């Protein structure tokens, strides 16, 4: 298959400001004037194309960012939300009604797992949790009332690779929708081009890359985005998780350097993963041949962006994990913090932080061990120096 160059599609956009500024002007307004009363009435009926009505619906600054994300994903449209969770929950609620059923990967972001497991039962929406790399069990879980399959391209925190094309095939066969969270792999994987109907993002992570705000996005068909934003029935319009335009304008600027950052995150993570592997650590990284879906990852990725910045290491138990993280923080290797896609390395013990919503028995069942430590590798200029410090910490804590 021909590989995609989503970075060039972002670069080719011509988006400039009202007065010719190289950055689009920020529309710092919640409401908009209409020169004629008729136009206002039309805009409530979804007509009056190109007119802005009220910023919970559309804001020009959010529209620029949405257009850039749609260009990146090659989808017809995009939609901006105030968080990744808002993107995920709005996309799911837009598709599902009471009595419907969802098939999802059992390993997902903790908040997503909690929403599917604890929140959706309120609406009598049933959810089957499956091992997403076992395509037979995915298809067997589909029922007549199934509305969608949900997964993450690289699942959190175990970094299983979803077979996007095969899962899309299952969805098409059964006439259901396929939602995929591509937060860990922007540019690296183009899920819509591989058949996903709806691509969701937490822009809080790699896309923004600065850890200075929380934001999300949905990329999909014009039909889906229109229904999501419908004034009378759209989930995003009515639940209202709108992002402030000041923030969306700063995310748009960061999106334009995403390709450089992803390459450096991937380069550094590959280096650390190889050294950890040689040191005998139990390391999971999709760029290593030892990763069970390494070949699949190579098939679905846009190779120039590498295998991503995320890796997971099993350090045995949480006490050891805490000691290593403490030592690494003391050595200024990075921060003991949740979140990812930052210019500095971040590390956290998954079972006791971002996946703590997942009950312990399920954690063990899916292979999320007590010592599993997730790393988001930073943009370090000299990664050999970083590894030397890391090795020092691993020796000091007697891990190696």
Ligand X SMILES: *Cc1c(COP(=O)(O)O)cnc(C)c1O
Place of tokens 């932080």: 353
Q: Which residue's CB is nearer to ligand X, number 84 or number 142? A: 84
CA 327 to chain CA mean position, Å? 29
Query: How many Å apart are CA 31 and CA 22, to the nearest integer?
Result: 25
User: How many of the other CB atoms lie within 10 Å of CB of 212?
Assistant: 12
Our CB check for ligand X shows the closer of 62 and 397 to be 62
Q: Is 152 in the site for ligand X (CB under 6 A)?
A: yes
Other Cβ atoms less than 10 A from the Cβ of 188: the count is 27
Copy the structure tokens of residue 66: 């949405």
Residue 173 CB, shortest distance to ligand X, in Å, is 27
Closest approach, Cβ 374 to ligand X, in A, equals 10
Selected binder of ligand X within 205, 247, 259, 291 (CB under 6 A): 205
Question: Is 286 within 8 Å of 306 (Cβ atoms)?
Answer: no
Is there a contact between 39 and 157 (Cβ–Cβ < 8 Å)? Answer: no
The reply to whether 107 sits near ligand X by the rule CB under 6 A is: no
User: Nearest distance from residue 340's CB to ligand X, in Å?
Assistant: 6
Among residues 59, 128, 183, 250, the one that binds ligand X under rule CB under 6 A: 183
- Residue 113 and residue 373: Cα distance in Å, rounded? 19
Query: For ligand X, which residue of 27, 59, 75, 83 counts as binding (CB under 6 A)?
Result: 83
Tell me how far, at minimum, the Cβ of 130 lies from ligand X, in Å. Answer: 18
Which residue has the CB atom at the shortest distance from ligand X?
84
Is residue 209 part of the contact set for ligand X (CB under 6 A)? no
The only residue of 73, 181, 370, 380 in contact with ligand X, by rule CB under 6 A: 181
Closest Cα partner for 225 from 211, 212, 237?
237
Other Cβ atoms closer than 10 A to 399: 20
Q: Which stretch binds ligand X (CB under 6 A): 83-91, 258-266, 274-282, 345-353?
A: 83-91
Q: Answer yes or no whether residue 182 interacts with ligand X by CB under 6 A.
A: no
- Any contact of residue 84 with ligand X (CB under 6 A)? yes
Beta strands in the chain (DSSP E): 77-81, 101-105, 126-130, 146-152, 177-181, 198-202, 216-220, 282-284, 310-314, 334-336, 345-349, 372-376
151 binds ligand X (CB under 6 A): no
Nearer to ligand X, 112 or 229 (CB): 112
Among 6, 24, 78, 111, which residue interacts with ligand X (rule: CB under 6 A)?
A: 111
Candidate ranges 104-112, 113-121, 232-240, 305-313; the one touching ligand X (CB under 6 A): 104-112
Q: Which of 65, 69, 71, 85 binds ligand X (CB under 6 A)?
A: 85
* 110 is a contact residue toward ligand X (CB under 6 A): no
Q: Shortest Cβ distance from residue 341 to ligand X (Å)?
A: 8
The sheet carrying 126-130 orders its strands as 77-81, 216-220, 198-202, 177-181, 146-152, 101-105, 126-130
Give the shortest CB-82-to-ligand X separation in angstroms. 8
Nearer to ligand X, 78 or 393 (CB): 78
- The 8 Å CB, 24+ separation contacts for 328-337 are 328/389, 328/390, 328/393, 331/389, 331/390, 331/392, 331/393, 332/389, 333/386, 333/389, 333/390, 333/393, 334/378
Instruction: Specify the 3-state DSSP secondary structure of 198.
Output: strand
Identify which of residues 128 and 202 has a Cβ nearer to ligand X in the complex: 202
The angle formed by the CA atoms of residues 319, 324 and 330, to the nearest 5 degrees, is: 125
Burial zone of 5 (CB within 10 Å; 0-12 exposed, 13-18 middle, 19+ buried) = middle
Residue 161 is a binding residue for ligand X (CB under 6 A): no
Binding letters toward ligand X, positions 311-340, x by CB under 6 A: ------------------------------
Q: Which token pair is 213?
A: 């705000």
Q: Which is nearer to ligand X, 69 or 393 (CB)?
A: 69
For ligand X, the binding residues (CB under 6 A) are 83-85, 109, 111-112, 152, 156, 181, 183-184, 202, 204-205, 214, 216
């Amino acid at each position: 298959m021909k590989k995609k160059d989503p970075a060039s599609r972002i670069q080719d956009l011509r988006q400039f400001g009202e007065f010719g500024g190289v950055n689009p002007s920020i529309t710092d307004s919640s409401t908009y004037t209409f020169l004629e009363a008729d136009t206002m009435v039309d805009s409530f009926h979804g007509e009056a194309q190109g007119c802005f009505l009220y910023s919970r619906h559309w804001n020009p600054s959010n529209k620029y960012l949405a257009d850039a994300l749609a260009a990146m994903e090659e989808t017809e449209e995009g939609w901006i939300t105030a968080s990744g969770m808002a993107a995920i929950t709005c996309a799911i609620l837009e598709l599902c009604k009471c009595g419907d059923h969802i098939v999802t990967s059992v390993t997902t972001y903790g908040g997503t797992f909690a929403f599917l497991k604890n929140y959706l039962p309120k609406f009598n929406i049933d959810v089957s949790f499956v091992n997403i790399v076992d395509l037979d069990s995915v298809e067997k879980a589909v029922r007549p009332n199934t509305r969608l399959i949900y997964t993450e391209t690289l699942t959190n925190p175990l970094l299983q690779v979803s077979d996007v094309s095969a899962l899309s095939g299952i969805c098409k066969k059964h006439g259901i929708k396929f939602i995929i969270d591509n937060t860990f792999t922007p540019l690296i994987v183009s899920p819509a081009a591989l058949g996903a109907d709806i691509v969701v993002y937490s822009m809080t992570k790699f896309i923004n890359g600065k850890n200075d705000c929380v934001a999300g996005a949905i990329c999909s068909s014009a039909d889906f985005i229109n229904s999501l934003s419908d004034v009378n029935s759209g989930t995003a319009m009515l639940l209202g998780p709108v992002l402030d335009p000041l923030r969306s304008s700063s995310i748009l600027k960061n999106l334009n350097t995403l390709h450089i950052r992803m390459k450096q995150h991937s380069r550094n993570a590959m280096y650390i993963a190889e050294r950890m592997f040689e040191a005998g650590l139990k390391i999971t990284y999709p760029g290593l041949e030892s990763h069970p879906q390494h070949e699949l990852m190579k098939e679905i990725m846009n190779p120039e962006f590498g295998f991503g910045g995320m890796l997971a290491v099993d350090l045995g138990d949480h006490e050891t994990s805490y000691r290593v993280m403490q030592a690494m923080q003391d050595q200024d290797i990075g921060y003991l913090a949740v979140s990812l896609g930052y210019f500095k390395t971040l590390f956290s013990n998954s079972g006791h932080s971002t996946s703590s919503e997942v009950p312990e028995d399920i954690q063990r069942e899916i292979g999320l061990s007590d010592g599993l430590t997730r790393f988001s590798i930073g943009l370090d200029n000299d990664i050999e120096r970083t590894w030397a410090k890391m090795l020092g910490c691993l020796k000091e804590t007697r891990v190696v």
